[in-house]
């Protein structure tokens, strides 16, 4: 009996030892030099667990008073302290730390960022999750990949909660897990919303070239949207699904306009008579060069009227800081158009 059991006992002891090596229940009690205050520029809210615990405004929900979240100074991610819960076997834990926050949509606060470390192995027994208004938005067991006892930053997209006042809860729940930590909780304002597109993004607000009166100007097409595209095989030879801005000019009979554009994207420049039907009313266009190249159009008006010039690009949503040059329209010999010409100078 003994002889048959002995190998099994040895095996069991060995496997336990291997499991213990592979899956410690506590981290190394050093911080590996990670104890550095981060300097990210925009944080609408930060809690590093450096002061009172739970922090002011935070609620702690306790089911196992001897093994619940506490402040711990052994291995913080930032500063001197982190939130820590010790593991326990036999008495289930369901320990939560939460705070209420109004996510400011105007400020583009749409990310919850925090650091956490724990045992990916033992999280199968007792897991760390984050909930927003009771809905799980993060699951350590399923999502953490950095390894056992390695601090890693987690970024949770909160854009679905823009403008809402929500309860954000950090929960350790289960039985016979491992120690767990989190620190450096932040609501990130992220980058500010992009500036609105230029007014002349669309035909209806096309800038009158004569009123603007500039022979050379620089525009950032990247602030615009792609609203107009020439026809494939049409006046530019290709489609122009790049981002576009619209200019207009009134030309007299026989008056000539010459314009060019150049940027780091593959530019496309075209002139239309009916901006509402741009693709089908193109009278001249250019897309003869690639990036950095100049596209130049010249057009003699066969009749007096408004013409709309679309400063555009070949590639889908392509754009760049683009230089546009307008040669002062050259009028015919009609004296009345000389006046128009002078307006441009
Ligand atoms: Ca801290
Ligand atoms: Ca546009
Ligand atoms: Ca376009
Ligand atoms: Ca081009």
Q: Which residues contact 28 (CB under 8 A, 6 or more apart)?
A: 75, 149
295 in Cβ contact with 312 (< 8 Å):
no
What CATH number is given to the structural domain containing 297?
2.60.120.380
Ligand 2 mean position, distance from CA 243 (Å): 6
In a domain, 40, yes or no: yes
Condensed to tens digits (0 to 9), the pLDDT of residues 148-163 reads: 999 998 989 888 998 8
- CA 194–ligand 3 middle distance (angstroms): 20
What's the pTM value of the predicted model, to 2 decimals? 0.51
For residues 106-116, average pLDDT: 83
Write out 201-227 in H/E/C secondary structure: HCHHHCEEHHHHCCCEEEEEHHHCCCC
For the segment 237-250, the average pLDDT, to the nearest whole number, is 97
> What is the 214 CA–ligand 1 centroid distance (Å)?
56
pLDDT value, residue 11: 54
C-alpha of residue 259 to centroid of ligand 1, in Å? 60
Confidence of residue 44 (pLDDT cuts 50, 70, 90): confident
pLDDT of residue 159: 86
Q: How far apart, in whole angstroms, are the C-alpha atoms of residue 332 and residue 12?
A: 101
Number of the ligand closest to the Cα of 182? 1
User: Residue 31's pLDDT is what?
Assistant: 47
Residue 315 has a pLDDT of 96
Cβ-count burial of 114 within 10 angstroms (0-12 exposed, 13-18 middle, 19+ buried)? buried
Cα 108 to averaged position of ligand 2 atoms, centre (Å): 24
Q: Using an 8 Å Cβ cutoff, are 125 and 177 in contact?
A: yes
Residues 87 and 209 in one domain: no
Write out the residue range of the structural domain in which residue 24 sits.
20-188
- Rounded to a whole number of angstroms, the distance between the first and last alpha carbons of the chain is 109
221 shares a domain with 171: no
Which pLDDT score, from 0 to 100, does residue 29 have?
58
36 has a pLDDT exceeding 90:
no
Alpha carbon of 203 to ligand 3 centroid (Å)? 12
Centroid of ligand 1 to alpha carbon of 109 (angstroms): 21
Residue pLDDT, tens place only, 83-105? 999 999 999 999 999 999 998 87
Nearest to residue 179, comparing CAs of 92, 98, 68? 68
CATH number at residue 122: 2.60.120.260
State the distance from the centre of ligand 3 to the C-alpha of 229, rounded, in angstroms: 4
Same-domain status, 149 and 180:
yes
Q: How far is the CA of 267 from the centre of ligand 3 (A)?
A: 10
Choose the weakest-confidence range: 40-54, 211-225, 243-257, 295-309. Answer: 40-54
Query: What is the pLDDT, as a whole number, of residue 337?
Result: 44
Residue 1 has pLDDT above 70, yes or no: no
**Interior angle at CA 73, CA 69 and CA 75, nearest 5:** 95
Distances (CA, A) of 220 to 40, 246, 298: 28, 13, 23
What percentage of the chain has pLDDT greater than the value 70?
82
Do residues 267 and 328 both lie within one domain?
A: yes
What is the C-alpha to C-alpha distance for residues 244 and 152, in angstroms, rounded to an integer?
42
Domain-embedded: residue 5: no
- With 50 as the cut, is the pLDDT of residue 33 above it? no
Is 63 contained in some domain?
yes
CA–centroid distance, residue 189 to ligand 2 (Å): 28
* Among the bound ligands, the one closest to the CA of 225: 2
Contacts made by residues 52-58, CB under 8 angstroms, sequence distance 24+? 53/83, 54/97, 55/99, 57/99, 57/100, 58/97, 58/98, 58/99
* Gap from CA of 199 to ligand 4 centroid (Å): 24
Q: Are residues 24 and 161 in the same domain?
A: yes
| Model confidence pLDDT, tens digit, residues 246-278 | 999 999 999 999 999 999 999 999 999 999 999
pLDDT of res. 35: 38
């Amino acid at each position: 009996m003994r002889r048959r059991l002995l190998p099994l006992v040895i095996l069991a002891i060995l496997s336990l030892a291997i499991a213990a090596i592979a899956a410690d229940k506590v981290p190394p009690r050093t911080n590996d030099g990670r104890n550095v205050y981060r300097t990210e520029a925009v944080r609408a809210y930060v809690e590093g667990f450096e002061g009172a615990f739970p922090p002011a405004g935070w609620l702690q929900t306790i089911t196992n008073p001897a093994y619940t979240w506490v402040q711990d100074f052994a291995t913080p991610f930032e500063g001197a302290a982190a939130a820590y819960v010790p593991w326990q076997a036999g008495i289930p834990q369901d320990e939560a730390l939460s705070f209420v926050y109004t996510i400011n949509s105007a400020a583009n606060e749409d990310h919850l960022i925090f650091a956490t470390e724990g045992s990916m192995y033992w999280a199968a027994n007792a897991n760390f999750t984050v909930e927003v208004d009771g809905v799980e938005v993060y699951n350590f067991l399923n999502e953490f990949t950095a390894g056992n006892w390695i601090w890693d930053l987690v970024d949770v997209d909160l854009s679905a909660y823009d403008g809402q006042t929500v309860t954000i809860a950090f929960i350790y729940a289960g039985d016979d897990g491992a120690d767990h930590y989190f620190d450096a909780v932040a609501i990130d304002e992220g980058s500010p919303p992009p500036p609105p597109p230029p007014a002349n993004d669309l035909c209806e607000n096309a800038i009158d070239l004569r009123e603007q009166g500039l022979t050379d100007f620089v525009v950032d097409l990247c602030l615009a949207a792609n609203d107009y595209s020439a026809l494939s095989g049409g006046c530019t030879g290709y489609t122009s699904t790049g981002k576009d801005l619209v200019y207009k000019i009134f030309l007299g009979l026989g008056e000539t306009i010459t314009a060019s554009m150049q940027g780091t994207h593959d530019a496309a420049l075209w002139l239309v008579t009916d901006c509402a039907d741009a693709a089908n009313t193109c009278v001249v266009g250019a897309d003869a060069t690639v990036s950095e190249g100049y596209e130049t159009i010249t057009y003699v008006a066969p009749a007096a009227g408004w013409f709309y010039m679309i400063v555009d690009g070949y590639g889908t949503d392509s754009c760049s800081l683009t230089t546009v040059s307008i040669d002062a329209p050259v009028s015919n010999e009609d004296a009345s158009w000389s006046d128009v010409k002078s307006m441009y100078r």
